[in-house]
């Protein structure tokens, strides 16, 4: 299950809002093309990949309902993995990619994807792999799951790269490569 992050803002139960950064770059403008490309690459490699959405940001739904829907979708469709792809926003200075996981069963997947992104994208700043229990989607899926922050849309350098379709394609290829490595190791 590939989950293009919706750009929703916390706290829960506020109206969903797309995060925006430099020159109006929105999270959904970055993560939806990357997510679709990841799904395409996986399909070309014999892996059935489903998206939690394939259109723009779903506005008007509460955050908790959106998160609950996405995790239930993964459960109902009996997904093997849950991969949530996001772009971050913080203070305009922070940059780089980080992969979060929850639970020991997800740690190896997170490490493989993070390493693949770093190997494929030499300009990418490594923010590391981190276990965290604050991510609703990761805590509420029974399968291994990760939450990828591809970069910061409010950082000039990251935003310029994330806006570029060639860079998005390379990011997608790196994420898919990490997933495929993980699946191969599970056989």
Among 3-12, 32-41, 100-109, the minimum mean pLDDT is found in 3-12
pLDDT confidence bin for 19, thresholds 50/70/90: low
Residue 18: per-residue pLDDT: 56
pLDDT confidence bin for 24, thresholds 50/70/90: confident
pLDDT digits (tens, 9 = 90+) for 100-120: 999 999 999 999 999 999 999
CATH number of the domain located at residue range(s) 2-186 in this protein: 3.40.630.40
pLDDT confidence bin for 67, thresholds 50/70/90: confident
Asked if 174 and 116 touch (Cβ cutoff 8 Å), the reply is yes
Mean pLDDT of the chain: 88
* Boundaries of every domain in the chain: 2-186
Helix H or strand E segment including 75: helix 63-76
Reply yes or no on whether the pLDDT at 83 is more than 80: yes
pLDDT digits (tens, 9 = 90+) for 119-146: 999 999 999 999 988 888 899 899 999 9
């Amino acid at each position: 299950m590939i989950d293009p992050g919706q750009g929703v803002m916390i706290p829960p139960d506020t109206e969903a809002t797309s995060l925006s950064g430099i020159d109006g770059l929105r999270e959904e403008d970055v993560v939806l093309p990357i997510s679709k490309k990841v799904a395409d690459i996986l399909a070309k490699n014999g892996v059935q990949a489903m998206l939690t959405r394939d259109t723009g940001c779903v506005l008007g739904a509460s955050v908790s309902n959106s998160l609950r829907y996405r995790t239930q979708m993964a459960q109902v469709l009996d997904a093997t993995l849950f991969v949530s792809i996001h772009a971050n926003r913080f203070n305009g200075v922070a940059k780089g990619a980080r992969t979060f996981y929850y639970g020991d069963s997800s740690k190896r997947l997170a490490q493989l994807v993070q390493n693949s992104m770093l190997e494929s994208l030499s300009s990418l700043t490594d923010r590391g792999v981190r276990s965290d229990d604050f991510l609703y989607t990761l805590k509420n899926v029974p399968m291994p799951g990760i939450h990828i922050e591809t970069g910061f849309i409010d950082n000039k350098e990251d935003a310029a790269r994330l806006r570029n379709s060639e860079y998005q394609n390379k990011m997608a290829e790196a994420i898919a490569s990490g997933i495929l490595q993980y699946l191969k190791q599970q056989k």
